């Protein structure tokens, strides 16, 4: 489990300090695919870099499995980092090493087993070269790139490079995997396959994945938990299903349901926002309203998202206030257990 | 044809050319033993480096700058007593190598520093994220990743040292510079001077071409979509289209948000 407590990061400069993170509290449970979403400049990249101390926080602590890594010595930090894989937007592969040699890199620098080596190493010790090569083979099979073992990074496509980076990040069987905008440089199809791979890794290997992104689709398609970050602060956090069905903060609404906001802000009639979370999505609401209550509802917006195999959605309808139509509509919705909110 | 030209014969010129090459290569090698670690140190201890040590960086930087700002011909004269004190003589090939090393090492340190600085910051960050320590980053990231650029730097340094060696030849050692300045010029043997010039050009060209070829052959990066021969080591021909890996089995995960209610 990763616990982030009162994390603050300030970049001092002559023209005034820049606050990148402001008193962040966050708990990332084991086994989760935890999304951190926000607009660019919100501080999400700084946040993920503080988790493995690529950035030193100004204040606060990052506690990983009970150990505050902001307070450990460099040597211990290097060891703990091996338990936290990381992939990047620009892949960051070693250009002069082959695919196989790139994947072998963490194995080559794994801690040696000796009398002086730490007893509580979270990662496996260095093994002989033949066994390292075996592990590399295994990893390349996992990311479906066995045929590219002897290619160089410059001969690969973006998606292939990210697969190599994933294999490399997983070489020492880390418990955590940080993904910093890992799919932002990829096209939609490749993004899908990389996300599927990350989900697979989470499910099969039990790796806790932390995904930093500005793309809603990424969170929507693989994350179990999400934190929305805005202006260096956590605006909202929770299960993806909760945050997506009933976003509370303005920034979350803007990110998750931007068109809905626009629909609500448009002119004309009283508006109801219907919230579908799970099975009610099958209820024929609109025809029900028309046939049973004679309510003429105008659909301004409708969208469902598939999260964790369940349908979640919002629909905004405009209903005339004349002839008690609004009241009729509300009582119909209450009868059928459809959650709704009156919008101005 | 001048008398000197006849006296020297093939052997005379060959010996001078050999001395130039020999002294250049030895000086370059020794200068690299000093300059390479210094260059890495300059890069690593920089405030944005992997191991920032500002005071050390400042001291080494200042020393390197001082040595680099003295013109070689002056440095050489100034080094005569130093050479006498350290290696016991201020003439001959050994003294000349000493002077060349003193002049070239700071130059090489800056060349190495700039090569290593070119290594992608992201790659270094990735290595740090994998828990690599300073030595591991130097040995496994800095040097291998900067290799092509380091070789190009070595070629430039070697050519510079050939130029220095000609100057050093005038006061102490042998080589083509010494031949042209101390023997040919007093007797006005223009043909000897010009042959020295031509031989120097040939030596520079050979080093330049061989070095660049080596740098290219060892570079695993591919430019403009072309795959270099050196990169072709995989069992399968790597010259192929690079389709994005499409995993169809998980297509249902995204893309279902357009359903109507």
Position A280 scores a pLDDT of 54
Name the more confident of B232 and A213.
A213
CA distance B91 to B169: 9
Q: Which helix (H) or strand (E) holds B204?
A: helix B190-218
What pTM was estimated for this model as a whole? 0.82
Residues of chain B contacting residue A84, judged by C-beta atoms under 8 Å apart: 129
**Residue in B126, B131, B245 nearest the CB of A88:** B126
| Percentage, residues of chain A above pLDDT 90 | 57
Average pLDDT of chain A is 89
Q: Report the candidate in B218, B196, B199 with the shortest Cα–Cα distance to residue B207.
A: B199
Of A206-215, A322-331, B100-109, give the lowest mean pLDDT range.
A322-331
CA distance B5 to B94: 27
Averaged over B225-241, what is the pLDDT?
Answer: 43
Residue A116 exposed, middle or buried by CB count within 10 Å (0-12, 13-18, 19+): exposed
Indicate the pLDDT class of residue A344, thresholds 50, 70 and 90: low
CA distance B16 to A171: 56
Length of chain A counted residue by residue:
344
Position A9 scores a pLDDT of 95
**Nearest chain B CA: its distance from A121 CA (Å):** 13
Is B88 near chain A, with CB under 8 Å?
no
Name the more confident of A248 and B135.
B135
**Nearest chain A CA: its distance from B92 CA (Å):** 42
What's the angle, vertex CA B152, arms to CA B150 and CA B153, rounded to 5? 60
Of A105-114, A137-146, A284-293, B141-150, give the lowest mean pLDDT range.
A284-293
Q: Which of B123, B129, B217, B252 to mutate to test the interface with A (most CBs of A within 10 A)?
A: B129
Position A282 scores a pLDDT of 62
* Token duo for residue A241: 């299903």
Residue B67 exposed, middle or buried by CB count within 10 Å (0-12, 13-18, 19+): middle
Q: pLDDT (tens digit, 9 = 90+) per residue, B67-104?
A: 999 999 899 889 999 999 998 888 888 888 899 999 99
Is B48 near chain A, with CB under 8 Å?
no
Averaged over A71-90, what is the pLDDT?
Answer: 94
Place of tokens 């730097």: B153
Q: Report the candidate in A255, A167, A177 with the shortest Cα–Cα distance to residue A219.
A: A255
Q: Collect all residues with Cβ–Cβ distance below 8 Å to B235 and sequence separation of at least 6.
A: A150
User: Which phi-psi region, left, alpha or beta, contains residue A324 (left: φ > 0; alpha: ψ -120 to 50)?
Assistant: left
Bridge pairing between strands A270-277 and A225-230: unpaired
Buried b (16+ CB within 10 A) or exposed e, B197-212: eebbeebbeebeeebe
CA distance B62 to A13: 26
Averaged over A57-65, what is the pLDDT?
Answer: 95
Averaged over B169-196, what is the pLDDT?
Answer: 85
CA distance B197 to B199: 6
Of A134-148, A234-248, A295-309, give the lowest mean pLDDT range.
A295-309
Position A193 scores a pLDDT of 95
Position B224 scores a pLDDT of 47
Residues of chain A contacting residue B249, judged by C-beta atoms under 8 Å apart: 196
CA distance A165 to A103: 7
User: Which phi-psi region, left, alpha or beta, contains residue A181 (left: φ > 0; alpha: ψ -120 to 50)?
Assistant: left
CA distance A149 to A143: 11
**Residue in A94, A149, A199 nearest the CB of B123:** A94
Q: Is the pLDDT of residue A33 over 90?
A: yes
Bridge pairing between strands A225-230 and A33-37: parallel
| Percentage, residues of chain A above pLDDT 70 | 96
Q: What is the ipTM score, two decimals?
A: 0.84
Q: Which of B239, B245, B249, B258 to mutate to test the interface with A (most CBs of A within 10 A)?
A: B245
Is B225 near chain A, with CB under 8 Å?
no
Name the more confident of A130 and B235.
A130
Position B258 scores a pLDDT of 41
Chain B residues 104-163 within an 8 A CB cutoff of chain A: 120, 122-123, 125-133, 136, 140-141, 144-145, 147-148
CA distance A22 to A9: 7
Helix, strand counts (H, E) of chain A: 12, 14
Q: Report the candidate in A164, A135, A162, A159 with the shortest Cα–Cα distance to residue A149.
A: A164
Name the more confident of A180 and A308.
A180
Position A273 scores a pLDDT of 85
Position A134 scores a pLDDT of 95
Task: Answer whether A54 sits within 8 Å of B219, measured CB to CB.
Answer: no
Q: pLDDT (tens digit, 9 = 90+) per residue, B98-127?
A: 999 999 999 999 999 999 999 999 999 999
Indicate the pLDDT class of residue A43, thresholds 50, 70 and 90: confident
Closest-approach residue (CA) in chain A for B131: A78
Residues of chain B contacting residue A75, judged by C-beta atoms under 8 Å apart: 133
Place of tokens 């609004």: A326
Indicate the pLDDT class of residue B250, thresholds 50, 70 and 90: very low
A-B CB pairs within 8 A amount to 163
**Nearest chain B CA: its distance from A308 CA (Å):** 9
Task: Answer whether B236 sits within 8 Å of A147, measured CB to CB.
Answer: yes
Q: Which of B122, B124, B126, B241 to mutate to test the interface with A (most CBs of A within 10 A)?
A: B126
The pair phi, psi for residue B118, each rounded to 5°, is -75, -15
Task: Answer whether B261 sits within 8 Å of A149, measured CB to CB.
Answer: no
Q: Is the pLDDT of residue B55 over 90?
A: yes
Is B202 near chain A, with CB under 8 Å?
no
Q: Is the pLDDT of residue A171 over 90?
A: yes
Task: Answer whether B251 sits within 8 Å of A54, measured CB to CB.
Answer: no
Residues of chain B contacting residue A163, judged by C-beta atoms under 8 Å apart: 245
**Residue in A82, A156, A200 nearest the CB of B130:** A82
Residues of chain B contacting residue A144, judged by C-beta atoms under 8 Å apart: 245, 247
Indicate the pLDDT class of residue A279, thresholds 50, 70 and 90: low
Position B106 scores a pLDDT of 96
Averaged over B166-186, what is the pLDDT?
Answer: 82
**Nearest chain B CA: its distance from A193 CA (Å):** 5
Residues of chain B contacting residue A148, judged by C-beta atoms under 8 Å apart: 234
Residues of chain B contacting residue A82, judged by C-beta atoms under 8 Å apart: 130-131
Q: Is the pLDDT of residue B230 over 90?
A: no
**Nearest chain A CA: its distance from B65 CA (Å):** 29
Name the more confident of B239 and A162.
A162
Task: Answer whether B133 sits within 8 Å of A306, measured CB to CB.
Answer: no
Return the bridge partners of A37, or none: A213, A228
Q: pLDDT (tens digit, 9 = 90+) per residue, B129-166?
A: 999 999 999 999 999 999 999 999 999 999 999 988 88
Contact A341, A298 (CB under 8 A): no
Closest-approach residue (CA) in chain A for B235: A150
Position A191 scores a pLDDT of 95
Averaged over B33-50, what is the pLDDT?
Answer: 96
Q: Is the pLDDT of residue B61 over 50?
A: yes
Q: Report the candidate in A332, A256, A233 with the shortest Cα–Cα distance to residue A25.
A: A233
Q: pLDDT (tens digit, 9 = 90+) per residue, A249-273?
A: 888 888 877 777 777 777 767 888 8
Return the bridge partners of B11, or none: none
**Residue in B220, B253, B259 nearest the CB of A221:** B253
* Token duo for residue B249: 């089995």
Contact B145, B220 (CB under 8 A): no
Place of tokens 């070789």: B151
Task: Answer whether A109 sits within 8 Å of B129, measured CB to CB.
Answer: no
Count the neighbouring beta carbons within 10 Å of the beta carbon of residue B134: 16
CA distance B115 to B14: 35
Task: Answer whether A163 sits within 8 Å of B131, measured CB to CB.
Answer: no
Q: Which helix (H) or strand (E) holds B61?
A: helix B54-69
| Percentage, residues of chain B above pLDDT 90 | 57
């Amino acid at each position: 489990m990763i616990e982030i407590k009162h994390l603050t990061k300030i970049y001092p400069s002559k023209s005034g300090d820049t606050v990148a993170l402001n008193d962040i509290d966050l708990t990332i449970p084991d086994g989760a695919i935890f999304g951190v979403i926000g607009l660019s400049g919100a501080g999400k990249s700084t946040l993920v870099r503080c988790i493995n101390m690529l950035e030193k926080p100004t204040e606060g602590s990052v506690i990983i499995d009970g150990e505050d890594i902001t307070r450990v010595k460099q040597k211990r930090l290097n060891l703990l980092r091996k338990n936290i894989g990381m992939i990047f937007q620009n892949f960051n592969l070693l250009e002069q090493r082959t695919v196989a040699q790139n994947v072998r890199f963490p194995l080559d620098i794994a801690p040696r087993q000796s009398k002086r080596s730490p007893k509580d190493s979270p990662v496996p010790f260095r093994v002989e070269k033949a066994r390292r090569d075996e592990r590399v083979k295994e990893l390349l099979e996992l990311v479906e790139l066995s045929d590219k073992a002897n290619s160089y990074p410059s001969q690969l496509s973006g998606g292939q490079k990210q697969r190599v980076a994933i294999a490399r990040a997983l070489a020492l069987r880390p418990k955590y995997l940080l993904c910093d905008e890992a799919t932002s440089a990829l096209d939609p199809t490749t993004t899908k396959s990389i996300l599927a791979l990350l989900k697979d890794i989470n499910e099969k290997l039990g790796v806790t994945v932390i995904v930093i992104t500005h793309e809603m689709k990424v969170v929507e398609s693989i994350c179990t938990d999400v934190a929305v970050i805005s202006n260096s602060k956590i605006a909202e956090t929770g299960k993806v299903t909760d945050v997506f069905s009933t976003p509370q903060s303005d920034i979350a609404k803007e990110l998750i349901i931007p068109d809905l906001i626009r629909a609500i802000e448009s002119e004309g009639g009283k508006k109801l926002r219907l919230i579908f979370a799970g099975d009610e999505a099958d209820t024929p609401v609109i025809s029900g309203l028309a046939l049973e209550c004679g309510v003429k509802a105008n659909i301004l917006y409708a969208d469902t998202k598939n999260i964790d195999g369940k349908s979640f959605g919002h629909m905004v309808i405009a209903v005339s206030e004349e002839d008690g139509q609004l009241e009729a509509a509300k009582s119909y919705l209450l009868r059928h257990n459809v959650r709704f909110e009156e919008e101005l | 044809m001048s008398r000197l030209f006849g006296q020297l014969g093939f052997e005379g010129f060959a010996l001078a050319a050999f001395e130039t090459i020999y002294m250049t290569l030895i000086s370059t090698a020794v200068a690299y033993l000093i300059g390479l670690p210094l260059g890495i140190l300059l890069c690593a201890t920089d405030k944005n480096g992997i191991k920032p040590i500002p005071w050390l960086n400042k001291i080494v930087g200042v020393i390197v700058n001082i040595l680099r700002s003295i013109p070689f011909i002056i440095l050489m004269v100034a080094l005569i007593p130093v050479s006498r004190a350290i290696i016991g003589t201020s003439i001959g090939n050994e003294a000349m190598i000493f002077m060349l090393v003193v002049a070239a090492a700071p130059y090489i340190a800056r060349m190495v520093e700039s090569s290593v600085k070119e290594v992608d910051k992201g790659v270094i960050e990735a290595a740090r994220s994998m828990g690599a320590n300073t030595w591991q980053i130097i040995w496994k990231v800095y040097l291998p990743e900067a290799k092509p650029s380091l070789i190009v730097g070595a070629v430039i340094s070697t050519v510079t040292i050939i130029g220095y060696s000609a100057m050093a030849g005038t006061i102490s050692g042998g080589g083509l510079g010494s031949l042209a300045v101390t023997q040919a010029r007093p007797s006005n043997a223009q043909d000897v001077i010009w042959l020295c010039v031509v031989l120097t050009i040939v030596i520079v060209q050979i080093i330049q071409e061989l070095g660049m070829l080596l740098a290219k052959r060892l570079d695993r990066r591919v430019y403009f979509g072309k795959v270099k021969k050196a990169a072709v080591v995989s069992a399968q021909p790597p010259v192929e289209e690079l389709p994005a890996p499409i995993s169809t089995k998980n297509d249902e995960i995204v893309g279902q948000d357009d359903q109507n209610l």
